[in-house]
Structure 1
Amino acid sequence: MLQLRDLPTPEVLQRFAQRYPEADVTAIASFLMLLRVATDLSVALDACLSKHDLLQGRWWVLILLMREVDLTSTPSVLAEKLGVTRATMTGLLDGLEQGGLVQRILVPEDRRSVKVRLTEAGQARLDAVMPDYYTRLRQSMQGLNEQQRQDLQALLGVIDQGISAWDFK
Structure 2
Amino acid sequence: MLQLRDLPTAEVLGKFADRYPDADITAISSFLHLLRVATDLSVALDACLSKHGLLQGRWWVLILLMREDSKTSTPSVLADKAGVTRATMTGLIDGLEQGGLVERVYAKDDRRSVLVRLTDAGQAKLDIVMPDYYRRLRQCMQGLDDQKRTQLQQMLELINSGIHALTE
**TM-score (norm. length: structure 2):** 0.97
Q: What is the CA-CA distance between 1:3 and the residue it aligns to?
A: 1.6
Q: Deviations over 1:98-127 (max 9, x none)?
A: 000001001234432100000000001111
Q: Which residue of 2 aligns with 1:127?
A: 127
Deviation string, structure 1 residues 41-93 (Cα, Å, up to 9, x no partner): 00000000110000110000000000001101000000000111110000000
Give matches, 1:1-150, under 5 Å: 1-150=1-150
Instruction: Give structure 1 regions of 4+ aligned residues with deviation exceeding 6 angstroms.
Output: none
Aligned position for 2:158: 158
**Aligned-pair RMSD on alpha carbons?**
0.9
Which stretches in structure 2 are left out of the alignment for 5+ residues? none
Instruction: Using the TM superposition, give the Cα deviation of residue 166 of structure 1 relative to its aligned residue in structure 2, in angstroms.
Output: 1.6
- Give the SS at the match of 1:14: helix
Identical amino acids, percent of aligned pairs: 75
> Which AA in structure 2 matches 1:108?
K
Q: After superposition, what is the alpha-carbon deviation per residue over 1:118-166, rounded to whole angstroms, capped at 9, x for unaligned?
A: 0000001111111111111110100001011011011101111111112
Distance in 2 between residues matched to 1:114 and 1:150, nearest whole Å: 40
Secondary structure (helix, strand or coil) at the match of 1:104 reads: strand
